Amino acid sequence: MAKTIEWIGEFDGHLRLLDQTRLPTETSYLDCRTVEDVWQAIKRLSVRGAPAIGVAAAYGVCLAGDSEASAAAACDYLATSRPTAVNLFWALDRMRAAIADHQAPRLAARLLTEARAIHAEDHELCAAIGRHGADALADLPTGAGILTHCNTGALATGGDGTALAVIFELHRRGREPKVYADETRPLLQGARLTMWELMERGVDATLITDSMNAQVMREGRVGAVIVGADRIAANGDAANKIGTYAAAIAARYHNVPFYVAAPSTTFDLTLASGNQIPIEERSDDEITRGFGKQTAPDDAKTYNPAFDVTPAELITGIVTELGVFEPGKVAEALTAAASK
């Protein structure tokens, strides 16, 4: 697998990102040498996925130089790139703390140490999520169908992913999962990115459009659904790529267990419910001129929310690096873990 995020050099180096807007037909990289370069990469989805956005933003602060004022300004600026993924704000809070507690002479070296720590920690979180999720799905028969939505693999994180980490772990264990990947409209992260990752790893994968998943469940092809999240409220409501909520409704109707996989950094315990999660709205061009081809009349009105919120009551379990929990019990588990 190509590296999604890589810091080149030492504290005076730069950030290299795999440009995910070019996949699957082209593997190319962006060399980000300024804070603005990183902001633009996040905004245009050259790097995407909540954990990966957080890691990229942390490295972005390192490009601000040795000045406390410029580093703090970089944190504030990068926080405006995308509003929904809470990992972005968590990582930037870590960088703000590093600015505050650094000792002379080199702030830049301290910032790079912290960014590398955030990256390494996410790698370990992904591995743990994969193990716990595979354990939770251990009762599925070998060769069972698993449906996923959007992209939640190595392209979206600092490690093997969240929901896809579970699938990769099942594959490593010889369980031969048969994955149904939602195309994930309008930007086709499932078709372009998830299928690319699954095929690179030799996982049996079938691409379907989002509107097909209920029929696939009705036909008995799906033993479980597992997706990621960009922000999870204290009650277990989970925001994820638009279309996830519909998949959860279909899963409940067809008695298919529905899991959300996310690290503890994706939880926002300051929000009581998903009604408080900010939902990013994106350009109408993504609907009317997707990938450069006009598919709607000129001046067509659009509504383009990038995310929806799946209520906790539709979620069977939330897979974290700490284990698998009922949605309503995750906040308690995270609070207990933080107190140790």
Q: Is 215 annotated as a binding residue?
A: no
Q: Is 142 exposed, middle or buried (0-12, 13-18, 19+ CB in 10 A)?
A: exposed
Q: Is 304 annotated as a binding residue?
A: no
Give me the catalytic one of 160, 210, 230, 237.
230
Q: Give the position of tokens 């049996």.
A: 204
Q: Could you tell me if 137 and 156 are in contact, meaning their C-beta atoms sit under 8 angstroms apart?
A: no
Question: 104 Cβ partners below 8 Å, 6+ apart?
Answer: none
Q: Is 106 annotated as a binding residue?
A: no
Q: Is 48 annotated as a binding residue?
A: yes
Q: Is 134 annotated as a binding residue?
A: no
Catalytic residue check, 12: no
The rounded distance, in Å, linking the Cα atoms of 44 and 38 is 10
| Residue 197 CA to its chain's centroid (Å) | 14
Query: Which is it for the CA torsion 110, 113, 117, 118, positive or negative?
Result: positive
Nearest C-alpha neighbor of 178 from the set 201, 147, 155 = 147
The rounded distance, in Å, linking the Cα atoms of 210 and 246 is 9
Amino acid type, 130: G
Helices (H), 63-175: 68-78, 86-101, 107-136, 163-172
Pairing of strands 178-182, 145-148: parallel
Q: Is 3 annotated as a binding residue?
A: no
| Residue 147 CA to its chain's centroid (Å) | 16
Binding residues for substrate: 48-50, 82, 189, 240-241
Binding residues: 48-50, 82, 189, 240-241
Active site residues: 230
